[in-house]
Amino acid sequence: MKIGLGAVIVAAGKGTRMNTPESKQYLLLEDKPILVHTIQAFERFALIEHITVVVGSEHIERVQNWTSRYEFKKQVKVVAGGKDRQESVYEGLKQLPENIEWVLIHDGVRPFILQEQMQACWEAAQITGSAVLAVPVKDTIKTVGSDMRIKNTPDRQSLWAVQTPQAFRVSEIADAHRRAASEGYVGTDDASLMERMGRPVQVVMGDYRNIKITTPEDLRIASVILEEIRTAQS
């Protein structure tokens, strides 16, 4: 069944918080780069027809070569990103083929996305128009001033840590990006661009293992999660 679902996987960041010579998306997790694990998760998701991977311009050829090396079955287009995540997503959206009506936008450094989670996010987007995966926060969150004094304590019941994928109609999220760029707004996720246009975004319960590999300790946690997922699948 063709439904015009594509993926934009953003991986054009420098990984400054990881502080390794090689950007974190190219670090090996067991046998292959983190970004390959992520692309392969989208390869496995049957509904995805097209994958656009957004990388730094100096890495385009390297990632293009992965199609033969890792035997990708789907069409994987590799394009250059921008100076921040938002610009990179927008570049990816602009390069999607015409027939792609819906998109899952995902961080290249979230390799543990499960098939059932992609499915749940996609199904929720079909109903509401937009959907994101998120998990309830476990800690108490404080708003803190520049003087390091606590300003207030938001009610934890309503706080969720948002993940990717985030699912949208291509025309709507591209419009939201166009508007944000022209108005100089920079958000840390794509849903926030829909929110500022007054559009509803459905939250779908995510999985705590869908971590964004960000700092060195995340690499050790990632090895444990990978082993656990492999054991469960074998």
Ligand X SMILES: C[C@](O)(CO)[C@H](O)COP(=O)(O)O
Ligand Y SMILES: Nc1ccn([C@@H]2O[C@H](COP(=O)(O)OP(=O)(O)OP(=O)(O)O)[C@@H](O)[C@H]2O)c(=O)n1
Interacting partner of 164 out of ligand Y, ligand X, none (Cβ under 5 to 8 A depending on kind): ligand X
Binds 179: which of ligand Y, ligand X, none (CB < 5-8 Å by kind): none
Q: Please identify which residue in 10, 41, 176, 191 interacts with ligand Y, judged by CB under 6 A.
A: 10
Considering beta carbons, is residue 175 or 218 the nearer one to ligand Y?
A: 218
Contacts with ligand X in 89-118 (CB under 6 A)? 107
- CB under 5 to 8 A by kind: which of ligand Y, ligand X, none does 162 bind? ligand X
Applying CB under 6 A, among 35, 164, 194, 210 the residue interacting with ligand X is 164
| Contacted by 189, from ligand X, ligand Y, none: CB < 5 to 8 Å by type | ligand X
Residue from 212, 218, 219, 229 binding ligand Y (CB under 6 A): 212
What DSSP assignment string belongs to the chain? Answer: ----EEEEEEE----TTT--SS-GGGSEETTEEHHHHHHHHHHH-TTEEEEEEEE-GGGHHHHHTHHHHTT--SEEEEEE--SSHHHHHHHHHHTS-TT--EEEEEETT-TT--HHHHHHHHHHHHHHSEEEEEEE--SPP-EE-TTS-EEE---GGG-EEEEEEEEEEHHHHHHHHHHHHHHT---SSSHHHHHTTT---EEEE--TT-----SHHHHHHHHHHHHHHHHHH-
Quote the least distance from Cβ 48 to ligand Y, whole Å: 18
**Identity of the residue, 49 or 218, whose beta carbon is nearer to ligand X in the bound complex:** 218
User: Is 12 among the residues that bind ligand Y (CB under 6 A)?
Assistant: yes
Task: Return residues touching ligand Y (CB under 6 A).
Answer: 10-17, 25, 54, 81-85, 88, 107-109, 212, 214
